[in-house]
């Protein structure tokens, strides 16, 4: 049976590569991004995949666009929701944090994934896989923080991890598996040129992890090697 996968932030980086790999594997992919008209690689991919990739406009911070996407998905079974869209936010030392930018980054990294899970829960519950993946970061681990700084990014991802832990409990009765997934330190616009792995390596490893996930994994904070990251 053909899997249906919805990926946010699909116009570049990990989201684009996941879209490519899932489509090549035969999945139907709904690829969502803020500005489809500015996503030439994604549009080329959609044109080359004989209808397996459909591109949908989505600014994850806009409730009307989330509702519009949910309407598109109404009545359809969604095997995997991948909340990939995210922002790093500005980097500032202690004492110079930009409050407005911090709040906006919270909206993107923490609030939006929950609102998408809420909006698409019925579609996911109707599928075979029933999997929700939230792309987080090891930098959201409080236990793993040995260097300080990066207040905005760290706190928004730590908050996302808390959202995942709660959603895993709330959605368990519906058979939905919810996880927080670290994609590795990847060479992307966000990860920078010194990342440890390429987007291709990250996406390949991620797909391998997703294929093995089931109800017993719900609520996990998962590393790119498939192990657990301390909260």
Tell me what pLDDT residue 192 has.
66
Q: At what angle do helices 99-106 and 151-171 cross, to 10 degrees?
A: 30
Helix locations, the chain, DSSP H:
13-24, 40-48, 63-73, 99-106, 112-125, 151-171, 199-212
119 lies in which domain range? Answer: 4-222
With respect to residue 227, please indicate whether it lies within any of the assigned structural domains. no
Tell me what pLDDT residue 196 has.
78
With respect to residue 230, please indicate whether it lies within any of the assigned structural domains. no
Phi-psi category of 216—alpha, beta or left, where left has phi over 0 and alpha has psi -120 to 50? Answer: alpha
- CATH number for 89: 3.40.50.720
Residues 68 and 59: their CA atoms lie apart, in Å, by 11
Q: Which of 57, 138, 151, 204 is catalytic?
A: 151
With respect to residue 129, please indicate whether it lies within any of the assigned structural domains. yes
With respect to residue 228, please indicate whether it lies within any of the assigned structural domains. no
Number of domains in the chain: 1
With respect to residue 231, please indicate whether it lies within any of the assigned structural domains. no
> Could you tell me which of 55, 77, 226, 85 has the C-alpha nearest to residue 156?
85
Q: Any catalytic annotation for residue 153?
A: no
Tell me what pLDDT residue 191 has.
63
Tell me what pLDDT residue 190 has.
63
With respect to residue 33, please indicate whether it lies within any of the assigned structural domains. yes
Tell me what pLDDT residue 187 has.
76
With respect to residue 202, please indicate whether it lies within any of the assigned structural domains. yes
Q: SS3 for 119?
A: helix
pLDDT per position in the chain (231 positions), as tens? 799 999 999 999 999 999 999 999 999 999 999 999 999 999 999 999 989 999 999 999 999 999 999 999 999 999 999 999 999 999 999 999 999 999 999 999 999 999 999 999 999 999 999 999 999 999 999 999 999 999 999 999 999 999 999 999 999 999 999 999 999 988 766 666 766 799 999 999 999 999 999 999 999 999 999 999 999
- For the four alpha carbons of 144, 149, 153 and 156, in that order, the dihedral sign comes to positive
- Whether the CB-CB separation of 30 and 58 falls below 8 Å is answered with no
With respect to residue 133, please indicate whether it lies within any of the assigned structural domains. yes
Tell me what pLDDT residue 185 has.
82
Tell me what pLDDT residue 50 has.
87
């Amino acid at each position: 049976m053909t899997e249906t996968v919805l990926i946010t932030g699909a116009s570049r980086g990990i989201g684009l590569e996941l879209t490519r790999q899932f489509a090549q594997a035969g999945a139907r992919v709904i690829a969502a991004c803020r500005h489809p008209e500015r996503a030439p690689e994604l549009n080329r991919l959609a044109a080359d995949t004989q209808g397996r990739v459909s591109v949908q406009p989505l600014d994850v911070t806009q409730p009307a666009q989330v509702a519009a996407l949910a309407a598109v998905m109404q009545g359809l079974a969604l095997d995997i929701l991948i909340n990939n869209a995210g922002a790093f936010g500005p980097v500032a030392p202690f004492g110079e944090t930009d409050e407005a930018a911090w709040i906006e980054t919270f909206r993107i990294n923490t609030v939006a994934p929950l609102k998408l899970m809420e909006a698409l829960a019925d579609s996911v519950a109707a599928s075979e896989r029933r999997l929700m993946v939230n792309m987080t970061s090891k930098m959201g681990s409080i236990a793993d923080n040995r260097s300080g700084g990066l207040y905005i990014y760290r706190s928004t991802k730590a908050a996302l991890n808390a959202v995942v832990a709660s959603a895993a409990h709330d959605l368990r009765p519906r058979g939905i598996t919810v996880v927080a997934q670290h994609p590795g330190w990847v060479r992307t616009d966000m990860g920078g040129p010194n990342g440890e792995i390429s987007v291709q390596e990250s996406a390949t490893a991620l797909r391998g992890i997703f294929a093995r996930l089931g109800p017993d994994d719900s609520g996990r904070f998962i590393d790119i090697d498939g192990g657990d990251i301390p909260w």
